[in-house]
Chains A and B, each alone.
Chain A
Amino acid sequence: MTSFRDRVRDAFDEGVPVAIDRGARGHYEKRVQATAAFPQMEQMRDRARRIRADVIAHLDEHLATFAAAVEAHGGTAFFAADAAEANEYIVGLARTEGVSRAVKVKSMVTEEIELNPVLEAAGIEVVETDLGEFIVQLAGEKPSHIIAPVLHKDRYDVAELFAEKLGVEYSDDPSQLNDIARTHLREKFLTAEMGISGVNFAVAEDGSVVLVTNEGNGRLCTTAPRIHVAVMGMERLVRDRHDLAVMLEVLARSATGQGLSAYSNVVSGPRRPAEPDGPDQFHVVIVDNGRSATLGSAVAEILYCIRCGACLNACPVYRHLGGHAYGSVYPGPIGKVITPSLFGLEEWHELPAASSLCGACKEVCPVRIDIPKLLVELRRQSTDEMQPSIRRGLAVFAWLSTKPRLYRLATRVAALFGRMWSRDGWLRRIPFALRGWTGERDLPAPAKQTFSDWWRNRGT
């Protein structure tokens, strides 16, 4: 994969679509309005944080309770240590059951474990049914936002894509594009043998899984096919239905500014004997894939995240870059912590650095995760362990700062060189180790007088 710096440069060179900034801002403003219209919001956020903290602190016990409850309803709970185990289980099930087509609800964890290519390699057709995710799949791309996967596309892109891939007449009217997708996907829903979903919340006390969608594809995927497979990160749990209610109060308001999404769908096992519809089989795949390592680390708080996407919308870096430049399925502020935690800091150490630590993410987080603090912690680890040259450079600076005479001399020399290299008051390029600083921007030339000289002479 290309480096983060290259991807950022590409994003700027190509010009990130205005749609991203507009879309993210739109979601952000809707959240502000929804929060203002709900006087209990701040208290609900406190409660939601408490609920997440309590469940994560005893996660092993709640997982055991949850799995037992799933089985009591006639479902199956499978524990997957990593992506490979999860994918192997699902493909194995599909093979045993003779599944040739699976319909999917948009899910971050199935993106994370890269389930679709594994199913496709086994000859099983996988159809994404969330409108945005369906568009992403047709285009052969990756989602650019946790809850709005095609934030990077406009209606004309979609119109051309549908005309090309689905052989329909060109239309750039969103409502007609919607009808095209509805007709195309309805047939898939009614013929698929397996429905695959993620899980917004899983309720430990009764073994239910909760899917929150606006389109209704979450309900169709868990109703029409005869097998439902729900894939969940192991931290998705809440203790009981009362806690679930609190989490739902903050989720939709934070994500899209809705009081509740159109469908909050609570699924408890397969269809009961007398029920007229619903699947015959219900499987929950509980995925670790780096989460227990994260739990045992200094950034364990990130497991409180409920994937609402509010921090993406609030983040000035995300709004300028878009989701793809991050290079991970989890973009934005939360992704800068989740990605290195799950997939390794060594490979992803640049992500925590790509933040101004402005704190906009922490301000909007429904469970008040201290994202800036976690980013600083990851930066500390990455410089300590992986970038000894930075550590050495800072050590020299620290030593110099404690030697006033030497420090004054050094700053004077640096200022002298700085002025020598500058043109019209600007440093366009600094050589050697510091050249990265002027790669994308100019630096004002140093003043003739250093600050400490000015300070000493200020009274005279």
Chain B
Amino acid sequence: MERDQFLGRVKAALRGAQLPDVEGPVDSPPVTFEDPVERFVEMATSVNADVVRIRSTADAVDHIPASAGRGRSIAWDGLDDYVPGIYDSLAAAGWERADATVGAGSWRVDHQRIGTATLGVTAVDVAIAATGSLVLAHGAGRPRSASLTVEHHVALLPVTRIVNSLEAAVAHVDWEGTSNVVAITGPSRTGDIESILTLGVHGPRHLTIVLID
């Protein structure tokens, strides 16, 4: 149907619509926590994420999982801003980068190649204390696949990026520069079969959040 015709039909319908008078509030007091970091750790843990807190960034690599076995990894660009030397450390630990096929900033994900990666390492734009969620804005050098097609997702999170609520988090994301923003709350899960919790349906089975003080 032509757009104008479609919208005209909606407009005409609105004239006859019997809608209730709704005068609910447009705002409510912000959700706040005495210790947002503590709340974040509690909530993220409750949705089956592992949270490790490190004082020195050099320790970060120690928390890259060893159990998944060494293999290919997908890592975002710019992670050495948080953890200097992380790419060399990953390589030294036996992780070949599945994504490092073209120069930084312009590379594309090759799904056949990415499909074999078991580890993904990303940054976090903002984290939500109320629900233990991580918000990731994707873009150049920041593939979606790093938190999606892998078995184990490791997210590097400076504590200063934790805010109280989802509403507060909206202002901390660069919405204009990306085609995809995701709020991640724990590893991939389902309760479809008899409401029994099962992790790792299509996304990562494990989520490790490295909290950097």
Contact = CB atoms under 8 A, between A and B. Distances in A.
A269 B175 CA distance: 12
B125 interface: no
Interface string B19-56: 11011111111010000000000010001000000000
Interface of B: 1-3, 6-20, 22-29, 31, 43, 47, 99, 105-109, 111-112, 114-115, 128, 130-133, 138-145, 148-149, 166-167, 169-170, 175, 177-196, 198, 200-204
A73 B192 contact: no
A79 interface: yes
A178 B189 CA distance: 10
Contacts of A244: 170
Contacts of A224: 111, 149
Given A67-B3, A242-B167, A277 B108 contact: yes
Contacts, number: 278
A50 interface: yes
A259 B202 contact: no
A19 B149 contact: no
B203 A63 contact: no
A292 interface: yes
A53 B26 CA distance: 11
Q: Which 6 A-B pairs have the closest CB atoms?
A: A216-B203, A259-B131, A50-B24, A296-B13, A132-B192, A53-B22
Contacts of A216: 148, 188, 201-204
Most A Cβ at <10 Å: residue of B20, B186, B189, B192: B192
Interface in A140-164: 148-150, 153-155, 158
A43 interface: yes
Interface of A: 19, 22-23, 26-27, 40, 43-44, 46-47, 49-50, 53-54, 56-60, 63-64, 67, 73, 77, 79-81, 85, 129-132, 135, 148-150, 153-155, 158, 174-175, 177-178, 181-182, 185-186, 189-190, 206, 214-217, 219-220, 222-224, 234, 241-242, 244-246, 248-249, 256, 258-272, 274-278, 286, 288, 292-293, 295-298, 300-301, 370
Contacts of B17: 56-57, 295-297, 300
Contact of B7 (A64, A271, A296): A64
A278 B138 contact: yes
A42 to B, nearest CB: 9
A181 B24 CA distance: 44
Given A57-B19, A190-B115, A241-B170, A215 B178 contact: no
Contact of B12 (A186, A222, A262, A296): A296
B57 to A, nearest CB: 25
Given A79-B6, A274-B105, A214 B188 contact: yes
